[in-house]
């Protein structure tokens, strides 16, 4: 079974560069404290790394 990651937006995107805002939206996060569960892939890890200061990540099986 593939690992999944729970990604939560913990800091607002107000004042962030448009590229960072677009990355957060493409992760499926809209509002503060919203969470999504995504399959762990290298592309997802790269997106999370780009906005690591805005999100919290938890691993789950």
CATH number, domain with residue 52: 3.30.1390.20
pLDDT of residue 29: 97
pLDDT of residue 28: 97
The whole domain housing 41 covers: 4-60
Q: Which two tokens stand for residue 2?
A: 């593939």
Q: Is residue 54 pLDDT above 70, yes or no?
A: yes
How many domains, the chain? 1
State the CB neighbour count (10 A cutoff) for residue 24: 23
pLDDT of residue 40: 95
Model confidence pLDDT, tens digit, residues 12-47: 999 999 999 999 999 999 999 999 999 999 999 999
At residue 60 the predicted structure's pLDDT band, cuts being 50, 70 and 90, is confident
């Amino acid at each position: 079974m593939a690992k999944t990651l729970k990604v939560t937006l913990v800091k607002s995107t107000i004042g962030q560069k448009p590229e960072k805002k677009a990355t957060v939206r493409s992760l499926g996060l809209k509002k503060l404290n919203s969470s999504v569960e995504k399959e762990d892939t290298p592309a997802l890890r790269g997106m999370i790394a780009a906005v690591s200061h805005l999100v919290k990540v938890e691993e789950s099986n």
